[in-house]
Structure 1
């Protein structure tokens, strides 16, 4: 036992020495394009921007902090809109880099369960950066590991840990997503599937856990130097230390002039950004406004984990629950009456000091085969109504919690009208807190972004209890 502890101690000491040496040489601006607001679930003390005007992107480059996030919410976009937005962003990044003379890298932060516009987003970024003479992209690094969410990559297979069991990602409910579905759990095969074999599995390189645990930096460097013509490399990982070893090699290679794009989950952004770990936030850490008002919770996600967490939350007798019968959207008059009913109830209860939870009906809207465009249009109306519940809340609530990636993006950017927020940290594993800016609709309140696919059954209840507890 003592021998094992001594080995671990020696490994940790070696790794930290290497890390401190190499990380201090890395000065490129790190721009994270986040396809929903949950990507800040591992970091703190960094800014999040919610628009991509040329002025905002210029401000990002001038921001003294190295790591910045730009929320695109592209997981809610069509292919056409995603293409347009990423083209605009990459053009403006290239322009701002030339103006400031700063080197940069771009991380496309995506879902740790592999959903999203992949490979579209990174392909558009690559092509646009190259067209605008920013730099030639040698390769793409894929790292979906996300410790807090129980997503690990072992022997090139990506797993989602559910109830203590390792489930290959392709066998989870997330793989059956109507828009972003996939069948492969081996990431080499996943890439081949998603790129329609433009990048066959045999062409994809990988960094193994054995190489990482041996701190075999030279072997990893060699693989990175091999990448050309946007070739893919996947990184196995089950700890942040695995990512640190990889990032040491990565920094060495980038400092020699190689350029990469990154498609990763949230853990890599923390590591490459050199963000320290921080204790989970308490109520006193986030509640800075004196108020007698209640809080407001909106639940939009329909994944099973969210439904289970909602059912657990319903055990709290201090919370008022209001079901939003959103399928009434097919009848404009009834839908308008439903929206008005809920808004009146929200305002009444919040003003009384009661926390309110509005949740969408758990049955998904389904108009049948061939009517996806109609469904999308109606879904936009439902989402708009949910954001207006927040925007029209009177008085200002003590806090806002949004459950679900797309829901939380719309609530943040439309409901709360946030232009720039500060990430205060996490209130529970993988659950970030924004502190809203002065320009927002409700300045200075904590906004808790609760991913649909994160947390244990009781986590949502625990967070609400923490925020509501009288200290």
Structure 2
């Protein structure tokens, strides 16, 4: 408990403002009372730095982009934040929040923040049973801790991997460009923050320190070690899961009672994710699932000119008659590599037409949530109010409730419960 109190003080006392660059909208899993910059630019960071909050999320949405484009996006965001910091006379620290299942453009984005430097990698998402122990990252599957390499996440079509140990994973995904230094749990708990501080000091360019972490106290110790190393002049680029981002930025979650959310007016439910979890949650919606308005993959790829007009008319009619409508992609994954982007283009075009007829929104799918918020509702900023259920944040887009439900998050009845909370 002493370590936790010491660390919280160290993070809170650090004068730097924290910019959390998020590679998809699910980084707000465990945060509340914080803004999300949906369209990063210098003006947005200037407003943040002149405001009272210690941290801000900046959405890069790079997990769905090619590697070079992702790196350029992150580099641009960093430059914008640094320009605003210079103008306001403040210092900023950066965190790269990424997937706790080891997917994403991890190292290209770290290099986009600073070249030829050392790194810290803390992928834990403890709230969902994802942790690192003995140099292996684990993911909870049906209540059992499974090495990440043995889960479906490791078979991702873009970010797949085979290695079980973190050190081998780093070597695999960077093709030997980066090397890992691990800090075991026993060492971390025996030596405290000094174990991380010293490992970071010893790390050279293109070396990443990966400490074990199975409890929040471990994350607090790691945060203190990072701050101590940086205060002594060590340059470190940090990539992490949501749990460490929350600890380092002094964020707290707040549970919002679903039972108090009825009467929000016309509700639009959108499902772009085609994961098995998503399909089960859609099926559990019963009558609403049967009435869902589905985007034809073939029509979307073929650029059918009548599709958008037809579907927006149907959505408007459902909203007028029943107060709730559901827009969904087909429940199967087929087509070429550009198909997901084309389907998202169709979703956002449809949403942009019906936006003024919608009072509340529930979106299933991380990247879908981002595109719907930025391109469908043309929002530039959101505020995180809290969590409706574990891993499901409630955003406010200009006071419009906007629920982000990641593709792999939630029990089978999650969407049904959320729809009941908003639509009654």
TM over 0.5: yes
TM-fit CA distance, 1:223: 1.6
Q: 1:229 aligns to what SS in structure 2? A: coil
1:9 corresponding residue in structure 2: none
Cα 1:412–1:319 shift into 2, 3 Å = farther
Kindly indicate whether the alpha-carbon contact (under 8 Å) linking 2:136 and 2:165 is maintained by their aligned counterparts in 1: yes
Q: Pairwise mapping of residues 227-238 of structure 1 onto structure 2 (< 5 A)? A: 227-238=203-214
2:124 corresponding residue in structure 1: 145
Kindly indicate whether the alpha-carbon contact (under 8 Å) linking 2:19 and 2:93 is maintained by their aligned counterparts in 1: yes
State yes or no: 1:163 paired with 2:138. Answer: no
1:45 corresponding residue in structure 2: 33
Cα 1:380–1:446 shift into 2, 3 Å = same
State yes or no: 1:184 paired with 2:172. Answer: no
TM-fit CA distance, 1:256: 2.1
1:348 corresponding residue in structure 2: 317
Kindly indicate whether the alpha-carbon contact (under 8 Å) linking 1:153 and 1:237 is maintained by their aligned counterparts in 2: yes
TM-fit CA distance, 1:195: 1.0
TM-fit CA distance, 1:193: 0.8
State yes or no: 1:315 paired with 2:286. Answer: yes
Deviations 1:288-321 (A, max 9, x none): xx6542x111111122222222222x33669842
C-alpha distance in 2 between matches for 1:386 and 1:93: 31
Deviations 1:66-117 (A, max 9, x none): 1111111111222332233223222223333333332222111111111111
1:257 corresponding residue in structure 2: 233
1:447 counterpart (398, 402, 409): 402
Q: 2:354 aligns to what SS in structure 1? A: coil
2:175 corresponding residue in structure 1: 196
Kindly indicate whether the alpha-carbon contact (under 8 Å) linking 2:12 and 2:250 is maintained by their aligned counterparts in 1: no
- Figure out how many residues of one structure are paired with residues of the other and give that number: 424
2:54 corresponding residue in structure 1: 66
1:268 counterpart (225, 228, 244): 244
Q: Pairwise mapping of residues 35-434 of structure 1 onto structure 2 (< 5 A)? A: 35-127=23-115, 138-200=117-179, 204-214=180-190, 216-282=192-258, 284=260, 292-293=265-266, 295-312=267-284, 314-315=285-286, 320-332=291-303, 335-367=304-336, 375-376=337-338, 378-393=339-354, 396-434=357-395
C-alpha distance in 2 between matches for 1:382 and 1:153: 36
Unaligned runs of 5+ in 1: 1-11, 128-136, 368-374, 438-443
C-alpha distance in 2 between matches for 1:276 and 1:330: 42
Deviations 1:400-426 (A, max 9, x none): 111111111100101111111111011
Kindly indicate whether the alpha-carbon contact (under 8 Å) linking 1:351 and 1:395 is maintained by their aligned counterparts in 2: no
TM-fit CA distance, 1:434: 0.9
Cα 1:283–1:384 shift into 2, 3 Å = farther
C-alpha distance in 1 between matches for 2:166 and 2:239: 12
Kindly indicate whether the alpha-carbon contact (under 8 Å) linking 1:36 and 1:72 is maintained by their aligned counterparts in 2: yes
C-alpha distance in 1 between matches for 2:195 and 2:356: 59
Deviations 1:152-195 (A, max 9, x none): 22212112211112222122222222222222232111111111
Deviations 1:228-256 (A, max 9, x none): 32420112222222211221222222222
Kindly indicate whether the alpha-carbon contact (under 8 Å) linking 1:319 and 1:355 is maintained by their aligned counterparts in 2: no
Q: Which moved more, 1:407-416 or 1:105-114?
A: 105-114
Give the alignment's Cα RMSD to 1 decimal: 2.3
Unaligned runs of 5+ in 2: none
Cα 1:122–1:16 shift into 2, 3 Å = closer
Kindly indicate whether the alpha-carbon contact (under 8 Å) linking 2:253 and 2:386 is maintained by their aligned counterparts in 1: no
TM-score (norm 2): 0.92
C-alpha distance in 1 between matches for 2:140 and 2:241: 15
Kindly indicate whether the alpha-carbon contact (under 8 Å) linking 2:316 and 2:357 is maintained by their aligned counterparts in 1: no
Kindly indicate whether the alpha-carbon contact (under 8 Å) linking 2:269 and 2:327 is maintained by their aligned counterparts in 1: yes
Kindly indicate whether the alpha-carbon contact (under 8 Å) linking 1:159 and 1:185 is maintained by their aligned counterparts in 2: no
Cα 1:330–1:413 shift into 2, 3 Å = closer
TM-fit CA distance, 1:42: 1.0
TM-fit CA distance, 1:353: 3.5
Instruction: Report which of the two structures shows the higher radius of gyration computed on alpha carbons.
Output: 1
C-alpha distance in 2 between matches for 1:460 and 1:148: 20
Q: 1:44 aligns to what SS in structure 2? A: coil
C-alpha distance in 2 between matches for 1:57 and 1:216: 34
C-alpha distance in 1 between matches for 2:245 and 2:12: 16
